[in-house]
Amino acid sequence: MGMGRVFVVELEGKVYTCLTCGTHLASADDLISKAFHCRHGKAFLFSNVSNVSIGDPEERMMLSGMHTVADIFCVSCGQNVGWKYESAHEKSQKYKEGKFILERGKIDDRADGAETQFYIDTTRPVDPSESMYVDED
């Protein structure tokens, strides 16, 4: 990949940014739900995100059933920041199609006005039988 300058969109208002490099990823206006979870902790569902590249779609089993998802990456630093729901196999999950998950631990959510630092406890061993990608409660 060439090292050409990446065109980065600046969002207005309250913004969620990449924790690694500060690139704007989503507007608070596009936040749908904070009730999601991934293997690293909390995750937020957005109707739209900016400044991401989308990986190859793949089938993933989540707590709410089988989904076709594609990982999303910050265009500036390449950090995997979440995923896009391409399709859901369960009727009740169809509302997620075309929407995006940003992992709480990969974004700066001071858009919430919360200046608190969160620390992820890495001391708990991960059970290999646990699904890698967890969804909602």
What gap in Å lies between CA 97 and CA 91, rounded to an integer?
Answer: 11
CATH of the domain at 97: 2.170.150.20
Domain membership flag for residue 120: no
Domain membership flag for residue 78: yes
Domain membership flag for residue 54: yes
- pLDDT, one tens digit per residue, over 1-58 is 455 667 889 999 999 999 999 999 999 999 999 988 877 789 999 999 999 999 999 9
Domain membership flag for residue 89: yes
Q: How many domains is the chain partitioned into structurally?
A: 1
What gap in Å lies between CA 112 and CA 92, rounded to an integer?
Answer: 29
Residues 6 or more apart from 129 whose CB is under 8 A from it? none
Domain with 61, as residue range(s), is 15-112
- pLDDT, one tens digit per residue, over 63-97 is 889 999 999 999 999 999 999 999 999 999 999 99
pTM (predicted TM-score):
0.75
